[in-house]
């Protein structure tokens, strides 16, 4: 496995755990973290041993407390656009991964941290997790997809409230809004994420990939999600996994999927 400056990675039973390792900075995102996250997600895409991934932060205090504001000082408009575009590119890659990626949110998920969690397919939060997009307090807006993904997850009215006030919400509130899928005790967080991924990765991998593609087609401009679903359903029917899944169902046994 590749060694990183700002990330810790481990592969365990097909699950790739990516830990942002800047605990003294509350795991804030800087240019190096973004670049290395991009490389780590490339590993998810290309390593056949990886079936799914977990993204989390080092320690129990913070998932990612935001962007490293020290890098923003003196930035020009064009540099700001380039910074935002880079974040979009990496977070879009996370969102469109054919393999499931779960955010294990352990503590603060603010600004870019909230945006990173929202780019993952599923979010599991510890009881002490806090979420927010406080960018307006700095005179800017979210730049890594926060205005779009927060609206998709919690609805326009609540998203506008959170984005315009910069308020922080706790894990319980985030769960009620649909921002997170589940809230668990801190000590159970990673094991809960592993168990969820093991359940998902036990299904047919092609079907999982097509579910992800179909769902996100709903949010893509110029793409009809229903048409995408029809096309991908047809492709699934033509796979060996479908033949195995139906045979196993009729024979009352557990299917063995090959991803073909």
Query: Is residue 115 annotated as part of the catalytic site, yes or no?
Result: yes
* Percent of the chain's residues with pLDDT above 90: 87
Measured CA to CA in angstroms, residue 108 lies from 32, 40, 211 at distances of 20, 22, 30
Q: What is the DSSP string of 93-150?
A: HHHT-SS-EEEEE-SEEETHHHHHHHHSSEEEEETT-EEE--GGGGT----SSHHHHH
Which pLDDT belongs to residue 64?
97
Closest among 107, 26, 36 to 68, alpha carbons compared = 26
- Write down the catalytic residue from 135, 231, 244, 251: 135
Query: Per-residue pLDDT for 221 more than 90?
Result: no
Which pLDDT belongs to residue 146?
97
Query: Per-residue pLDDT for 2 more than 90?
Result: no
Which pLDDT belongs to residue 67?
83
Residue 254 and residue 244 in contact, taking contact as beta carbons nearer than 8 Å: no
For 49-103, how does the pLDDT look when each residue is reduced to its tens digit (9 = 90+)? 999 999 999 998 999 998 878 888 888 999 999 999 999 999 999 999 999 999 9
- Write down the catalytic residue from 43, 71, 115, 127: 115
Closest among 137, 130, 181 to 163, alpha carbons compared = 137
Task: Give 150-158's long-range contacts (Cβ < 8 A, gap of 24+).
Answer: 150/114, 150/118, 150/179, 152/219, 153/118, 153/177, 153/178, 153/179, 154/178, 154/179
Query: Per-residue pLDDT for 1 more than 80?
Result: no
Neighbours of 224 (CB within 10 A): 12
Query: Is residue 229 annotated as part of the catalytic site, yes or no?
Result: no
Residue 41 and residue 94 in contact, taking contact as beta carbons nearer than 8 Å: yes
pLDDT average, residue stretch 133-162:
96
Q: Give the tokens for residue 233.
A: 């359903």
């Amino acid at each position: 496995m590749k060694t990183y400056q700002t990330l810790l990675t481990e592969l365990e039973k097909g699950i790739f755990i990516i830990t942002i390792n800047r605990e003294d900075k509350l795991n804030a995102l800087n240019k190096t973290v973004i670049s290395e996250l991009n490389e780590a997600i490339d590993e998810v895409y290309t390593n056949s041993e990886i079936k799914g991934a977990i993204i989390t932060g080092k320690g129990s205090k913070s998932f990612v407390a935001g962007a490293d504001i020290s890098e923003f000082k003196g930035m020009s408009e064009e540099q700001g656009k380039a910074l935002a575009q880079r974040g979009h590119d990496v977070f879009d890659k996370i969102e469109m991964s054919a393999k499931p990626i779960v955010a294990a949110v352990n503590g603060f998920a603010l600004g870019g941290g909230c945006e990173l969690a929202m780019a993952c397919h599923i979010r599991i939060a510890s009881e002490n997790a806090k979420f927010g997009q406080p960018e307006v307090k700095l005179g800017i807006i979210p730049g890594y997809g926060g205005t779009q993904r927060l609206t998709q997850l919690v609805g326009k009215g609540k998203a506008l409230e959170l984005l315009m006030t910069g308020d922080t919400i706790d894990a319980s509130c985030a769960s009620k809004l649909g921002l997170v899928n589940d809230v668990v005790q801190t000590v159970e967080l990673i094991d809960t994420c592993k168990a969820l991924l093991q359940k998902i990765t036990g299904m047919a991998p092609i079907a999982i990939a097509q579910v992800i593609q179909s769902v996100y087609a709903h949010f893509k401009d110029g793409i009809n999600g229903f048409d995408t679903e029809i096309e991908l359903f047809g492709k699934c029917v033509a796979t060996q996994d479908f033949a195995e899944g139906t045979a196993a169902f009729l024979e009352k046994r557990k299917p063995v999927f090959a991803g073909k």
